[in-house]
Amino acid sequence: MRTVLVTGGAGFIGSAVCRLLVGQGRRVICLDSLTYAGNLSTLDSVLHAPNFRFVHADIGDIATVAALLREESVDGIMHLAAETHVDRSIDSPAAFVETNVVGTVRLLDAALDHWRALPDPARAGFRFHHVSTDEVFGDLPLDSGVFTEDTAYAPSSPYSASKAASDHFVRAWHETYGLPVVLSNCSNNYGPYHFPEKLIPLTILGAIHGEPLPVYGSGANVRDWLHVEDHAEALARVIDGGTPGETYLIGGRAERSNLLVVEAICDLIDIRLGLLGGRPRRDLIRFVADRPGHDRRYAIDPSKIERELGWRPAHDFTTGLIHTVDWYLTNRAWWEPIRASRYAGERLGVSAARLANANQG
C-alpha cells in the first residue's frame, strides 16, 4: 500500500500504526474525530512529516471520507476507529452501536464507491482492513482452549457485540459487493501512549501516585498481552499480504492473569521509585465488585499470520512491560494533562462507588 487512510489514527493503536507506516515511507492520511481517547500528541513525531496528513473528521462523514479517498488516491483503508472501553459500553451502549456499527457501515459505503471508481490495476490492489478484537469470541475456560480464525462468535458485552456486528458487516460487503476486505482480531494491547483508563496504564499511574489499585473480582481473569508496536507491524503485514476475505488472529502468546499483571507493575514501580512509606505497592491492591459479563480468559493462536505472513512478536511480555513502565515514568508531559482532566475524578474508568466500596473493605 502506497497511500493508506488510517481511521482512529490519533488513538493508542492507530497512532502506533501511523508512526510505523510513516517511518516506512508511505503516504498516511490519518482520520480521527478526537474523542476523549484521541490525542494529537500521540502523533507528535510524525505530525509535520511530508508524507503525513491529519484530518479532523468522523468516519460517518461520508462526504469528507469520499473526498479524501479521491483526492489522495488512497490504495487501502486501515479501519481502527472505534469505541473500545467495556465499562463505558455497559453504561452507554448506544454510543458503541453508533460508532462501531453505523460508522463502519458508512465507511464501507464510501470505500465501496471509491473502489468501484478505480482503474483495474488499482482496484485489484485495493484493500479495506478492518481491525477487530478477540472479545467477539466470548471467553474460554481458565485451563484450556484457544481462539482460532474458526472460533464461533459469542460476544459478552455491548462493546464486543458492536465489534462482532461490524465484523459481520465487513464480511457482508465482501460477499455481496466484492469489496476486497481483510480482517484481524487482536488480543489485549499494551505499550506507550495507552489511554489511562485501561488496566496497565491505570495501574502504573495509580502506583506512581500511591493510590488504591482496583482489580475486578479476584483478579483471576486471564488475557493474552500484545505489545502495540508488534500489533502495528502485524497490521501492516495483513493489509499488504493478506488474502481478500480472510481473517488473521494476532496475539502475543503472553497469557497473564490480571492480578499477576498488577502485581508485576507494583514490583517494577517499587524498584524504580522505592517503597511507598516503607510498604510495597502490592498493599495498594483493592478487589472490587466484578463487572457484568466479565469474560474469564482470552487466548489467541496466531499460527495463521505466523505461517502465511511471516509475522512474529518482537517483544516478550516481561521486557515489554518494563519498557512500558519506564515510558510512563519518563513521559509525564503526555499523561499528566489527561490525568488532570475530568476522568481523574472517575479514577479513569473505575467508578467511584466501586472504589469506595473496596476501600471500606
Catalytic residues: 134-135, 159
> Could you give the C-alpha distances from 131 to 216, 267, 294, in angstroms and in order?
27, 33, 22
The 3-state secondary structure of the chain, one letter per residue: CCEEEEECCCCHHHHHHHHHHHHCCCEEEEEECCCCCCCHHHHCCCCCCCCEEEEECCCCCHHHHHHHHHHCCCCEEEECCCCCCHHHHHHCHHHHHHHHHHHHHHHHHHHHHHHHHCCHHHHHHCEEEEEEEHHHHCCCCCCCCCECCCCCCCCCCHHHHHHHHHHHHHHHHHHHHCCCEEEEEECEEECCCCCCCCHHHHHHHHHHHCCCEEEECCCCCEEEEEEHHHHHHHHHHHHHHCCCCCEEEECCCCEEEHHHHHHHHHHHHHHHHCCECCECHHHHEEEECCCCCCCCECCECCHHHHHHHCCCCCCCHHHHHHHHHHHHHHCHHHHHHHHCCHHHHHCCCCCHHHHHHHHHC
Instruction: State the residue for C-alpha cell 512491560.
Output: 321
Pairing status of strand 181-186 against strand 213-216 = unpaired
Instruction: State the residue for C-alpha cell 479513569.
Output: 348
- Backbone torsions φ then ψ of 304, nearest 5 degrees: -65, -50
